[in-house]
Amino acid sequence: MNKKILISLSVISVVAAVAVGGTIAYFSNTETSAGNIFIAGSIDLKVDHTLQTYNGIDCKTCSVDIISDTSNIVTGTASGTDPVAFPHAAVLVSTPYNLRWTAIIDGASWIWATDPTTEYDAANDVIYTFEKTFDWYGPITGTSLSFVVGSDNSVEVWLNGVKIAENTSEYGYESGHVLTISNLNVEQGTNTLEFKVKNWKQTNGTWQTNPGGLLYRLIIGGNCQDDYFKTNCQLWGSTDLTDQKFFNFNDLKPADSGVNVISLHNAGNDAWVCMGLLNKVDNENGVNQSEIAAGDNATSTVGELSQNLELFIWKDTDKDGLYELGESPVGSYGFDELNRIAINDSVTGTGDDLNSGADEYLGLVWCFGNQTVFGQTITCDGSSSSYNIAQTDSFLADLYFYAEQSRNNLDFTCVQIPS
């Protein structure tokens, strides 16, 4: 049997009353036993995180700062002769060929599809399209906008498929002729910026006399001040996880609680799905008098935070972060025991695998203290002095989602995953 496995990891970093950094990991793994039944296709799980609250405060985007650099993508051209297949990363213009390129934007670099501009593209009218995406969640009101675009020669700026501004000047590369955009209709979720840059033909032009180029910086100024949660929480659209964190708190107190909505998108074959924590680390970070009074050991190095963090998971069908009638519970867990949780496996229900192309929406409610779920009401009680044992402690872990094909694998259970 040919079996493909993908595991996505993301970090939990929760700290009681001390700040600490986290590490991040992602890996995918393919296991193959060759020569038997061949099953085409693969398992590809994508994960998004579109809603988070902490003590009733919503996570939202604080700021955006993007520039022309090699993370911009060249998506296509009109009559240009870039020999590399699209899409591909934009390249830095290695030499400021044209002394008239007086536009300077802090932090931004001149980019183009090729370096240097091809011979044909310097002598003919050509247009290249550069693309960059950014996420925005929450209100845009109260933010500031700075958006300046330099171009050689003219440029159209598009946002989410709509042209929002253009610079028709041949001299977009001069400081006095750059394009300044003062209004941006940002959408919730992922926004796509496109720059359609036209290099104007010059008879017998060369890469020295007639290069093409794009230079820009977009800053949407924050409105989160120094709120740790707001400036450190992250929301994102459907993606393979790399460095995203679902949890990042630096000053937890008993009775603190929060909600996360996580969506799993199955972009591959029908699959079983499990989740859990790996690489759990409980740090003591010293033992104070309150901890000792609560029963901690003065010489302890292993903290007690994960034992005192509780979690309830349910299938949040309407992805609103509220546990409502008709939505199925997955279960209640301590963070210290959270591993190999069955979201969809052969014992969670008949035919309960996650179909190809389908989504699963999970709601998570965590509590520092004693969590109870009664009917649709979830409470968090941190009033016991026993929680003092976790003062100054910290907890880090990787949150993983595991997908395994369900076809020809009907008896799979999440407890089969190596822990």
Residues that bind Ca ion (CB under 5 A): 152-153, 199, 210, 284-285, 291, 296, 303-304, 316, 318, 320, 322, 324, 392-393
Please, what is the minimum distance in Å from the beta carbon of residue 366 to Ca ion? 16
CA of residue 175 relative to chain centroid, distance: 35
Q: Which residue has the CB atom at the shortest distance from Ca ion? A: 392
What is the closest distance, in whole angstroms, from the C-beta atom of residue 210 to Ca ion in the complex?
A: 4
Considering beta carbons, is residue 52 or 406 the nearer one to Ca ion?
52
d(CA 35, CA 262): 38
CB of 111 to Ca ion, least distance (A): 14
SS3 292: helix
| Residue 300 burial (10 A CB sphere; 0-12, 13-18, 19+) | middle
Which token pair is 158? Answer: 């598009």
Residue 182, Cβ density class (10 Å: 0-12 exposed, 13-18 middle, ≥19 buried)? exposed
Q: Which is nearer to Ca ion, 154 or 346 (CB)?
A: 154
- Residue 7 forms beta bridges with which residues? 27, 402
CA distance 285 to 200: 63
Q: How far is the CB of 389 from Ca ion (least distance, A)?
A: 5
Closer to Ca ion by Cβ: residue 284 or 404: 284
Cβ nearer to Ca ion, comparing 222 with 321 = 321
Concatenated DSSP letters of 13-82: EEESSS--------EEEEEE-TTS----S---EEEEEEEEEETTEEP----EEEESSTTSEEEEEES---
Q: How far is the CB of 322 from Ca ion (least distance, A)?
A: 4
Which residue, 327 or 352, has its beta carbon nearer to Ca ion? 327
Question: Minimum distance from CB of 289 to Ca ion (Å)?
Answer: 11
Cβ nearer to Ca ion, comparing 63 with 307: 307
